[in-house]
Structure 1
Amino acid sequence: MLSVNVGPFALSSSVLLLLAAGLVAAGVGHLVGRRHKAGIVNTLSDMLLAGVLVARLSFVALWFDTYRSAPWSMLDIRDGGFMVWPGVATALLVAVWRGWRQPALRKPLVVGLAAGALVWGALFGALRMTELPVLPTLSLTTLAGDPIKLAALADGKPMVVNLWASWCPPCRREMPVLAAAQQRETGVNFVFVNQGEDGATAQRYLSAGRLGLANVLLDPGAALGREAGSGALPTTLFYDASGQLVDTHLGELSAASLASKLSPLRASAGASVQD
């Protein structure tokens, strides 16, 4: 499962996991520290803020050349551009520093963080079991009305499958980035699967935008989104050369976030050729 619908909003499972782990950590830390009135909520908040900031700055530094042409896009964290491990390390350093400065926080902080980590690990493992590990076998339709399966378009190459709709603003904003990548990345197949619209609607949007996309397919019943476990648009699925799902992205892709996802796909293509 990649996202969960909450009313009109779709929240990514990774955000929900972090929220659940944080709530458990705060609750357990409160119970352990209430005797000494040592709450850890403020520390957890500082850990989160510091971790997110460093994770974003690390990602921007790594892909700075990609951001250079549009500097303001560095501030748009909706592209999901974060480096996890620098962020985690920073958050833990904040916890160590707070524990060193305030001895009463040490036990509730350690126990709370351990409880949160256990909950996160259990939920992450459960969600991984529900993910679709390989290319779906369902039949889609070309703009010409012919049935086709995704595997027929793979051709032994890595594949990027973008789920989109013409009414979706972030889909429209990211489409030029994906269109440019399709022209540039000849070693990766890009497939654009329209969700819930008819061929005339999809073709009208593509013609108006002069995008020149190849491999545009129709999924009028949005079956691929359900099979992938995502009710959010846009959703992008990344498959390696063997057809295994190796990454996903919910929401708008920037040039930098797309480049970070494509890098391991190129590696899988090279490994496949050597084999």
Structure 2
Amino acid sequence: MISIGPFSVRLVAVFLAVLLAWAVARMVAKRLPDSPYKAASGMLLDAMFVGFVAARIGYIAQWWDEYAQSPMSMIFIGDQGFSWWVGVLAALAFVWWRTRSIRALRRPVLVGVTAGLLAWFAAGGVLDLLQRSAPPLPALTLATLDEKPVVLNSYTGRPVVLNLWASWCPPCRREMPVFEQAQVQYPDIAFVMVNQGESAQQARAFLETQGLQLKDVLLDPASQTMQAVASRGLPTTLFFDEHGRLVDTHLGELSMASLKHTVSRRFAPSQQIKTDKE
């Protein structure tokens, strides 16, 4: 799993793209008469904020049914749910509106936005290439709650959503009902919940206390899986296709909307159609 410290590398890429956009807007504005670089860079940051908010609102609108079931999840931006095309359009519209009476600022701000977008798209392409070369589903021998051995890559043959969790982890606890619901809605996908660093008794007690009915719960008392996938924190969710290839990752809490979004993007439409009919 690609990360920088505790942060997802995609989040770092967004931050760097914004920083580049800010720097480019200032540089272009400095060449103008009276050098309005402070106004240009300030307007760009305002546009980015507007775009960020619009992207979140657009995503919530797209997945309204899921967010309506859990309204508080709308403010948990850690699920990384954003409709970026909505955000880009909102940011451009904001710049166009704000510069209607100060046309001199329009060019540097739009050039900055363009530079940031190009950097972000380029980083996304590089990350996708790196992800395709990531190691496959690990061949680790873990155990069920009944302490029977299971080889992790024995799930290969159908898509796998692998979640690393622990009962002491608050975001892990909050997202558990999402996986419980998802395993019913997507029966052709294996939702494998690998407990990290705890005993069978601890994991079982937590599941029973919470009333959770999860099908594929495995034990990894030595946290081998975290090491194998280079995870830096919990919860971590990894998406593997039917061939055991890593196709997406998520560090932090998942909402039902973000889980469904990733499934719709990364897994075969035939599996989704079958699920939708059910």
Would the TM-score normalized by the shorter structure come out above 0.5?
yes
Matched, 1:199 2:195: no
Q: What one-letter code is carried by the residue in structure 1 that aligns with 2:143? A: T
Q: What one-letter code is carried by the residue in structure 2 that aligns with 1:202? A: A
SS of equivalent residue, structure 2 residue 69: coil
Which residues in structure 2 correspond to 1:35-184 (within 5 Å)? 35=31, 36-39=35-38, 40-131=40-131, 133=134, 135-143=136-144, 144-154=146-156, 156-184=157-185
Residues 95 and 167 from structure 1, CA distance in 2 versus in 1: closer, same or farther, beyond 3 angstroms?
A: same
- The Cα of 1:250 is off from its aligned counterpart by 2.2
- Residue 188 of structure 1 corresponds to 189
- The Cα of 1:85 is off from its aligned counterpart by 1.6
- Residue 244 of structure 1 corresponds to 245
Q: 1:269 aligns with which of 255, 271, 275?
A: 271
Quote the RMSD (CA, aligned, Å): 2.8
Residues 28 and 52 from structure 1, CA distance in 2 versus in 1: closer, same or farther, beyond 3 angstroms?
A: closer
Structure 2 length as normaliser, TM-score? 0.81
CA distance in 1, matches of 2:44, 2:224: 39
Q: What one-letter code is carried by the residue in structure 1 that aligns with 2:93? A: L
CA distance in 1, matches of 2:272, 2:185: 17
CA distance in 1, matches of 2:99, 2:225: 47
- The Cα of 1:167 is off from its aligned counterpart by 1.1
- The Cα of 1:217 is off from its aligned counterpart by 1.8
- The Cα of 1:169 is off from its aligned counterpart by 0.1
- The Cα of 1:147 is off from its aligned counterpart by 4.0
SS of equivalent residue, structure 1 residue 237: strand
Residues 183 and 114 from structure 1, CA distance in 2 versus in 1: closer, same or farther, beyond 3 angstroms?
A: closer
User: May I ask how many residue pairs the two structures share in their alignment?
Assistant: 267
Identify unmatched segments of 5+ residues in structure 2: none
Residues 112 and 205 from structure 1, CA distance in 2 versus in 1: closer, same or farther, beyond 3 angstroms?
A: same
- Residue 11 of structure 2 corresponds to 15
- The Cα of 1:270 is off from its aligned counterpart by 6.7
CA distance in 2, matches of 1:85, 1:117: 11
Residues 122 and 68 from structure 1, CA distance in 2 versus in 1: closer, same or farther, beyond 3 angstroms?
A: closer
Q: What one-letter code is carried by the residue in structure 2 that aligns with 1:42? A: G
SS of equivalent residue, structure 2 residue 233: coil
Q: Retained in 2: the 8 A contact 1:240–1:269?
A: no
CA distance in 2, matches of 1:120, 1:61: 24
CA distance in 2, matches of 1:270, 1:86: 25
Residues 89 and 208 from structure 1, CA distance in 2 versus in 1: closer, same or farther, beyond 3 angstroms?
A: same
Residues 223 and 111 from structure 1, CA distance in 2 versus in 1: closer, same or farther, beyond 3 angstroms?
A: farther
- The Cα of 1:139 is off from its aligned counterpart by 0.6
Q: Retained in 1: the 8 A contact 2:139–2:153?
A: no
Q: Retained in 1: the 8 A contact 2:197–2:221?
A: yes
- Residue 210 of structure 2 corresponds to 209
Q: Retained in 2: the 8 A contact 1:51–1:87?
A: yes
- The Cα of 1:194 is off from its aligned counterpart by 1.6
Q: Retained in 2: the 8 A contact 1:157–1:269?
A: no
CA distance in 1, matches of 2:97, 2:262: 34
Matched, 1:31 2:27: yes
